[in-house]
């Protein structure tokens, strides 16, 4: 049985509040994607950046879902917006969220970015079990 990485377009939601990065991306016509993986993974922004250096992206960050986000961007996003993003991508307490802004509008590119980041924390068997499922 395979797990899914549900790559969800959160552009309108993310840009709906005063989150400057999201508003700039939307004005540029870029998409913002969110994906949630079950379990807390120790990620540093440096580790995330290193994982995606071969991809053309405008931005990437992560969050661990708890009562509020444990994330380098938590102070820039309201608790209300954090909750809305969690609902949109079906994240639960104990999950790790990845938010990416690929330069390409191709959802497959966002999937490859997510896998590249999570390769550093998932076993090869877990990676092989993931498949992309597009938003319905």
Looking from the CA of 42 toward its CB, the CA atoms found within 13 Å total 0
Provide the residue ranges of all domains of the chain, joining segments of one domain with +: 3-123
Q: State whether residue 135 is helix, strand or coil.
A: coil
Q: pLDDT tens, position by position, for the chain (136 residues)?
A: 346 667 889 999 998 887 888 888 888 888 888 888 877 666 777 777 777 777 788 888 889 998 889 888 898 889 999 999 999 999 999 888 888 888 877 777 777 777 777 766 665 555 666 555 444 3
Q: What is the pTM of this model?
A: 0.79
Residues 114, 51: Cα–Cα separation, whole Å: 9
In CATH terms, the fold of domain 3-123 is Gyrase A; domain 2 (3.30.1360)
Residue-level pLDDT at 88 = 94
Residue 8 to residues 12, 50, 106, 115, Cα–Cα distance (Å): 11, 23, 12, 15
Residue-level pLDDT at 1 = 37
Q: Where would I find the beta strands (DSSP E) of 66-118? A: 69-70, 95-102
């Amino acid at each position: 049985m395979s797990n899914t990485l549900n790559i969800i377009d959160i552009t309108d939601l993310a840009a709906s509040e005063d989150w400057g990065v999201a508003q700039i991306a939307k004005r540029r016509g870029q998409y913002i994607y969110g994906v949630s993986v079950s379990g807390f993974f120790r990620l540093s922004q440096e580790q995330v950046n290193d994982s995606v250096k071969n991809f053309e992206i405008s931005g990437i960050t992560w969050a661990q879902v708890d009562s509020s986000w444990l994330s380098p961007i938590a102070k820039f996003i309201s608790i209300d917006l954090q909750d809305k993003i969690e609902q949109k991508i079906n994240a639960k307490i104990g999950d790790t969220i990845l938010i990416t802004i690929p330069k390409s509008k191709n959802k497959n590119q966002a999937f490859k970015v997510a896998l590249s980041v999570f390769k550093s924390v998932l076993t090869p068997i877990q990676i092989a079990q993931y498949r992309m499922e597009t938003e319905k």
